[in-house]
């Protein structure tokens, strides 16, 4: 099956999951919240959405494994794997903040082939296919062409597990605030990366993330003409728990700030 055909089917699955999540957002109650760990929340909505997604994807590529936030399915060591976050921005969802989405990527070994992010309440479906560009609702998107960080808007996420890094983190934020138009903390890494790909943000960085948070967005940014690295300017950004995604000209400038404060 061609990647384009696969991607079209993935988009439909992401839409179905998004419709389910939106309906459930009107029914959800505080007592339905479960805790996986400190500030690590989940609900039946995440779990049921993941089941829906896995069931649909299994029909497209029966041989593919799964790397899914809620643990549905098993990873295969060599070959295709789906990376899934059924509800990126769970904390936003649980508090009624309408900024969350569905995240699905297809990888072969460590190469991302397809990335789909459904920004549910914004009614924006982002997708990318390796070598074919990045799109929002079928229209081509591009990373920002801002010349420097001083012209840019930067997004990030606050650490809630690696609390030992908080001092370095806030020092980094302070330097960015002095050198950029502003900072945003939206609560969904998936949508943040889609916004970098569409030129709304010049950059996004965060540590402590998982592959399901970032895999689709990595491909979106790359196919939109942006740059992606880890905090050491390397390529361990899918499974390495840290990511810096930015427009071409802003990336090296922001990297210097992060590098000087973290290392």
Closest CA to 182 of 228, 150, 209: 150
Residue 42's pLDDT is: 58
Residue 33's pLDDT is: 65
Q: Which domains does the chain have, with CATH numbers?
A: 3-141 (3.30.540.10), 149-262 (3.40.190.80)
Q: What is the pTM of this model?
A: 0.94
Residue 39's pLDDT is: 46
* Contact criterion met (CB below 8 Å) for 1 and 59: no
Q: Distance (Å, rounded) from C-alpha 150 to C-alpha 261?
A: 19
Q: Distance (Å, rounded) from C-alpha 60 to C-alpha 50?
A: 16
Residue 31's pLDDT is: 59
Strand order in the sheet with 242-246: 182-184, 153-156, 203-207, 242-246, 227-229
Residue 214's pLDDT is: 98
Q: Distance (Å, rounded) from C-alpha 170 to C-alpha 58?
A: 42
As averages over each run of 10 residues, the pLDDT of the chain (263 residues) reads 95 97 78 57 79 96 93 90 95 90 96 98 98 98 97 91 82 95 96 98 95 97 98 94 96 95 78
* Torsional class of 125: left (φ above 0), alpha (ψ -120 to 50), beta (otherwise): beta
Residue showing tokens 């959800």:
28
Residue 35's pLDDT is: 61
């Amino acid at each position: 099956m061609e990647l384009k055909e696969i991607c079209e089917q993935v988009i439909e699955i992401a839409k179905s999951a998004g419709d389910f999540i939106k309906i459930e957002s009107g029914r959800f109650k505080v007592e339905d919240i479960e805790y996986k760990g400190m500030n690590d929340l989940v609900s039946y909505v995440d779990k049921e959405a993941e089941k829906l997604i896995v069931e649909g994807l299994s029909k497209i590529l029966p041989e593919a494994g799964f790397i899914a936030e809620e643990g549905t399915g098993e990873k295969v060591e060599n070959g295709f794997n789906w990376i899934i976050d059924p509800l990126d921005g769970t904390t936003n969802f649980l508090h009624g903040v309408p900024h969350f989405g569905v995240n699905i990527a297809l990888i072969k070994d460590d190469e991302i082939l397809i990335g789909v992010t459904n920004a549910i309440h914004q009614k924006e479906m982002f997708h990318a296919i390796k070598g074919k560009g990045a799109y929002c609702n079928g229209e081509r998107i591009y990373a920002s062409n801002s010349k420097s960080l001083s012209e840019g808007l930067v997004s990030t996420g606050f650490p809630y597990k690696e609390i030992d890094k908080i001092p370095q983190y806030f020092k980094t934020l302070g330097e960015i605030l002095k050198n950029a138009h502003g900072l945003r903390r939206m609560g969904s890494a998936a949508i943040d990366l889609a916004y970098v790909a569409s030129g709304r943000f010049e950059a996004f960085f965060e540590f402590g993330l998982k592959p399901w948070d970032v895999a689709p967005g990595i491909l979106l940014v790359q196919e939109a003409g942006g740059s992606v690295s880890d905090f050491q300017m390397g390529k361990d950004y899918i499974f390495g728990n840290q990511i810096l995604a930015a427009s071409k000209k802003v990336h090296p400038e922001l990297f210097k700030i992060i590098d000087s404060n973290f290392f």
